[in-house]
Amino acid sequence: MNDASTLTLFAKQHNIEGLTEPSLKALIANEVGYTIDKAQRFLAFQKRINEELLNHPVIVSNHYCNWFEQGHQNKAQISAFVVQFSVFSNLFLIAQLHKTINADTLEGMHASKEILANEIGVIFNGQNTAKKTKDDLNAATNPDIVSTEGSVEGGQFRFKAAHFEWLYRMAQKLGLEFNDIGKRRHGTESTLFFCDELTRIYGNEDYLISQAASYAVENWAAAGFWEQLIKGFDKFNDTSDIKLPLGFFTWHALIESQHAAHTQEELEELYFNRDIDEDKFIYYGNEMLNGVAEFWDGLEKQRRTLAD
């Protein structure tokens, strides 16, 4: 019998179908914290998460992205969007730094630093970049080819690989200058509310609260908004004489599709290794998604004021 069918049979016998492979393997191996009873409790918790968290309007239907995808934006609407996204991109660094400082294990701190260092320009030391010669390093900061895999450990720092600079290059094509983007003063009330909620909840010093926010944010990111934005930008580029470089968005779409696979495994690992206050997890997950929704609702309101 192969590995996969052993796991399926084991899950069936114990009425725990739906768990990811790493959890089933840990159960079979009798790892500390992994019991059949806990597995069944997790599945009941997962059902609650599906019903009480993942049904959030910002995951199920995002009005702004549904509009954006159609590609009918005028230049003012596109510019306004890039400015708000640049504020989010910069202020996200503050939330990520809080998350790093508040990590309660060295491993957790490393995971947070991976994201933080990569945001500011450390290129992942992945397969794609490892192949490049020195001459290619300038090109290697281009989001169209820079690696989405690997670690910042041993990776190269390049100013031009900072995600903010990818957005800046896009903004320049729209006639925006460095001081037109990325600062707190450029954010609308909704954008700032979202960024502050990220720092407060995602960067919280209570590990469970920050994990609830991470899980919520990952599920939001995996819900397809990057692809919707890319579709809208592609249509804008097709019909306009401005050709926006989309690397910031295509790179993030790619990395999110890789994250999505791990999000569920991480939740199970958290559940089996810690005693979770389930109500608290769902409460803070929703608080975080309310912050995310405020960001998109603010963009929706703003684009209406900028309509032709």
Cβ within 8 Å of residue 42, ≥6 positions away: 19, 23, 268, 271, 272
Show the binding pattern over residues 7-26: x = contacts Fe ion (CB under 5 A), - = does not: --------------------
Residue with smaller CB distance to Fe ion, 56 or 163:
163
Q: Does the protein bind Fe ion through residue 163 (CB under 5 A)?
A: yes
Q: Mention every residue, 6+ apart, whose C-beta is less than 8 A from residue 91.
A: 184, 187, 192, 195, 198, 199
Name the one range near Fe ion by CB under 5 A: 4-12, 129-137, 149-157, 162-170. Answer: 162-170
Cβ(292)–Cβ(217) below 8 Å: yes
| Residue found under tokens 């994250």 | 259
Total chain residues near Fe ion (CB under 5 A):
1
Binding flag, residue 303, Fe ion (CB under 5 A): no
Binding segment for Fe ion among 44-52, 157-165, 174-182, 264-272 (CB under 5 A)? Answer: 157-165
Beta carbon nearer to Fe ion, 23 or 147: 147
Nearer to Fe ion among residue 23 and residue 118 (C-beta): 118
User: Helix 189-197 and helix 278-305: axis angle, to 10°?
Assistant: 160
Q: For the window 116-155, what string marks contact with Fe ion as x by the rule CB under 5 A?
A: ----------------------------------------
User: For residue 215, which phi and psi values (nearest 5 degrees)?
Assistant: -60, -45
Residue 163 CB, shortest distance to Fe ion, in Å, is 4
State how far the Cα of 145 lies from the Cα of 162, in Å rounded to an integer: 14
- Whose Cβ is closer to Fe ion: residue 92's or residue 236's? 92
Shortest Cβ contact with Fe ion: which residue? 163
3-state secondary structure of 157: strand
Question: To the nearest whole angstrom, how small is the minimum distance from the Cβ of residue 274 to Fe ion?
Answer: 28
Task: Name 122's bridge partners.
Answer: 157
Total count of residues recorded for the chain: 308
- Looking at beta carbons only, is 11 or 98 nearer to Fe ion? 98
Looking at beta carbons only, is 113 or 268 nearer to Fe ion? 113
Quick one: which segment of 28-36, 49-57, 163-171, 270-278 binds Fe ion (CB under 5 A)? 163-171
Residue 234 and residue 109: Cα distance in Å, rounded? Answer: 37
Q: Which stretch binds Fe ion (CB under 5 A): 28-36, 156-164, 221-229, 230-238?
A: 156-164
Residue 115 CA to residue 138 CA, distance in Å, equals 21
| Tokens, residue 188 | 């609308």
Name 151's Cβ contacts closer than 8 Å, sequence gap at least 6: 114, 124, 125, 126
Give contact residues for Fe ion (rule: CB under 5 A).
163
